[in-house]
Amino acid sequence: ILPMAPHHIRKYQETDRKRVLDLFSQGMFEHVPATFRLVLKMPQTFLVLLGVPIALLLVSGSWLLALGSNVTLLVFLWLLARQPWRQYVVMCLQTDLADINKSYLRARGSCFWVAESRGQMAGIVGALPVEDSPPGRKQLQLFHLSVALENRGEGLGKALVMTVLQFARAQGYSEVVLETSTVQQAALTLYLRMGFQKTGEYFFSKIFRLLGNSTIQLKYCLPSTQEGGP
C-alpha cells in the first residue's frame, strides 16, 4: 500500500488567488457531465429525443434530417446542463470570491484555507458566519470545498472539512451548515459519512429545477464546550 501523499493546509494568501479561482471553476464545470446524464434520464427528455425525429421523419421523409435533429437536441441539452454552473461560477467570482481577503479573512469568525500537496494547490474551502442564524444557535457556513482531480483519494476533502469543524468549535459556533447538489454525489457521501445531517432540499434556480438538480442542505451539530466532545 502506498503511503498517503503529504499535504499542508494553511490560510489563504493573495498570491494564491489565480490558482484558487482556477480550482474552483474547474471543480464546478466538472459537474456538467453528471448534470447532462441526469437530464438524459428524465422521461420528458426521452419523449423529446424520440418524438421530434419521428415527427420530422413523417413530415419530411428524410432520415438525415431526423438524425440531425437529435444531434442538435443533444448539443442544446449539453449547453443547458452547462449554463447553471456557468452562472454560479460568474456569481461567485462577482461576490465572495471577488476579494477573498475582504470576504473571508478580515473578520474573526470567518476564514479561507488552501491545501497544498507536493508543492501544488490541491484543495480549497471557505467558511462564513450565517447572518440570520436561528435564535439560540450560532451557525458557520462551509463554502467552496473543492479538491483537484489529481489529488482525489488522498483524504484531502475530509481534512479540509475537519479544518472547518475545528475552526467552528474554536470560534464558539454551535453548528456548521452547507449546501451541495444532487449531482455532487462524492461530496454528499463525504458529508454524510462525517456526520452531517440533511435538513432541507430546494432548487437553486429555475434551470436547476428544469434539470432536476436539487440543492441539498446539511447541518453538523457541534458539541458544546460543556459536553467536552471532540
For residue 68, name the pLDDT band (cuts at 50, 70, 90). confident
Residue with the bigger pLDDT between 195 and 4: it is 195
The answer on pLDDT for 32 being more than 90 is yes
Secondary structure class of 200 (helix, strand, coil): strand
For residue 227, what pLDDT is reported? Answer: 44
Out of 3.40.50.11540, 3.40.630.30, 3.90.950.20, 3.40.50.1970, select the CATH number for domain 8-14+100-221.
Answer: 3.40.630.30
The Cα 92–Cα 90 span in angstroms is: 6
Element (H, E) at 193: helix 185-193
For residue 197, what pLDDT is reported? Answer: 98
Mean pLDDT of 125-129: 99
Helix and strand tally (H, E) in the chain? Answer: 8, 7
Average pLDDT, the chain: 90
Amino acid identity, position 71: V
% of the chain surpassing 70 pLDDT: 91
Residue with the bigger pLDDT between 58 and 4: it is 58
Domain residue limits, the chain: 8-14+100-221, 32-92
Mean pLDDT of 10-28: 98
pLDDT digits (tens, 9 = 90+) for 188-199: 999 999 999 999
**Order of strands across the sheet with 111-117?**
7-11, 111-117, 120-129, 139-147, 175-181, 215-221, 197-202
The answer on pLDDT for 133 being more than 50 is yes
For residue 21, what pLDDT is reported? Answer: 98
SS3 content of the chain, % helix, strand, coil (to 5): 50, 20, 30
pTM equals 0.87
> 191 near 145, Cβ under 8 Å?
no
22-26, 51-55, 142-146: least confident range: 51-55
The Cα 37–Cα 196 span in angstroms is: 27
pLDDT digits (tens, 9 = 90+) for 154-202: 999 999 999 999 999 999 999 999 999 999 999 999 999 999 999 999 9
- Listed in sequence order, the residues at least 6 apart from 177 whose beta carbon sits closer than 8 Å to its beta carbon are 130, 139, 140, 141, 142, 199, 217, 218, 219, 220
For residue 41, name the pLDDT band (cuts at 50, 70, 90). very high
